[in-house]
Amino acid sequence: MSTSNNTSTGSSTEQYDVIVVGGGMVGASFACSLAKLSKNSKQLKIAVVEAAPTPTWSKQNYDLIDHDLRVSAITRASECFLRNIGVWDRIQQRRISPFREMHVWDSTGNGVIHFDSAQIGEANMGHIVENSVILLSILDRLNEFDNVDYISPVKVSTINIDDEQVSMTLADGQCLHANLLVGADGSHSWVREQANIKVKGWDYQQKALVATVKTSINHNETAWQRFLPDGPLAFLPLSDGFCSIVWSATTQRAEQLLALDDEQFISELESTFDRRLGSIDFVSTRAAYPLKLQYATSYVSSRLALIGDAAHTVHPLAGQGVNLGFMDAATLSEVLGKTIDNTKSGYSDIGAYAVLRKYERWRKSDNLATLAVMDVFKKLFGNNLPFVRWIRNAGLTMTHKTEPVKNIIMRHTMGLTGDLPTLAKPVYLSGSAIQEKHVSGVA
Ligand SMILES: Cc1cc2nc3c(=O)[nH]c(=O)nc-3n(C[C@H](O)[C@H](O)[C@H](O)COP(=O)(O)OP(=O)(O)OC[C@H]3O[C@@H](n4cnc5c(N)ncnc54)[C@H](O)[C@@H]3O)c2cc1C
pLDDT score of 114: 86
pLDDT score recorded for residue 9: 47
3-state secondary structure of 415: coil
Distances in Å between the Cα of 330 and the Cα atoms of 30, 35, 307 are 7, 12, 10
> How does DSSP assign 98-119, residue by residue?
EE-EEEEEETTSS-EEEEEGGG
The residues facing 175 across adjacent strands are 13, 169
Give the residue from 421, 193, 411 showing the smallest Cα distance to 304. 193
Q: How far is CA 317 from CA 51, 104, 116, in A?
A: 28, 11, 19
CB atoms within 10 A of CB 376: 10
Closest CA to 296 of 360, 208, 228, 226: 360
Q: How many CB atoms lie within 10 A of CB 427?
A: 12
Ligand 1, pocket-test mutation among 75, 168, 174, 322, most atoms within 8 A of CB? 322
d(CA 331, CA 270): 42
Least Cα distance to 311 among 359, 242, 263 occurs for: 359
**Cis omega (within 30 of 0) for bond into 55:** no
Probe ligand 1: pick from 75, 150, 309, 328, max atoms within 8 Å of CB?
309
Q: Which residue ranges form the domains of the chain, and what is each CATH number?
A: 2-424 (3.50.50.60)
Distance 169 CA to ligand 1 centre (A): 24
Residue 149 has a CB neighbour count (10 Å cut-off) of 20
* Predicted TM-score (pTM) of this structure: 0.91
Amino acid 8: pLDDT: 44
Q: Choose one of 20, 70, 72, 247 to mutate for the ligand 1 pocket test, by most ligand atoms within 8 angstroms of C-beta.
A: 72
Alpha carbons 269 and 244: distance in angstroms, whole number: 13
Nearest to residue 165, comparing CAs of 184, 149, 180? 180
Q: Which residues have C-beta atoms less than 6 Å from ligand 1? A: 21-27, 49-52, 72-73, 155-156, 184-186, 190, 208, 210, 246, 289, 308-309, 316, 319-323, 325
pLDDT at 109: 67
Along the 443 residues of the chain, how does pLDDT read in single tens digits?
Answer: 666 644 444 568 999 999 999 999 999 999 999 998 866 556 899 999 999 998 766 566 677 688 999 999 999 999 999 999 999 999 999 999 999 999 988 877 677 788 899 988 899 999 999 999 999 999 999 999 999 999 999 999 999 999 999 999 999 999 999 999 999 999 999 999 999 999 999 888 999 999 999 999 999 999 999 988 888 899 999 999 999 999 999 999 999 999 999 999 999 999 999 999 999 999 999 999 999 989 999 999 999 999 999 999 988 877 789 999 999 999 999 999 988 877 654 568 999 999 999 999 999 988 887 777 666 666 666 666 665 566 666 666 766 667 777 677 778 788 888 889 999 998 653 333 334 444 433 43
Q: How far apart, in whole angstroms, are the C-alpha atoms of residue 357 and residue 339?
A: 12
pLDDT at position 251: 97
Residue type, 305: A
What is the model's pLDDT at position 140? 93
Q: What are phi and psi of 374, to 5 degrees?
A: -60, -35
CA dihedral (80, 81, 87, 91) in degrees, to 10, reads -50
Cα(127)–Cα(238) distance, integer angstroms: 9
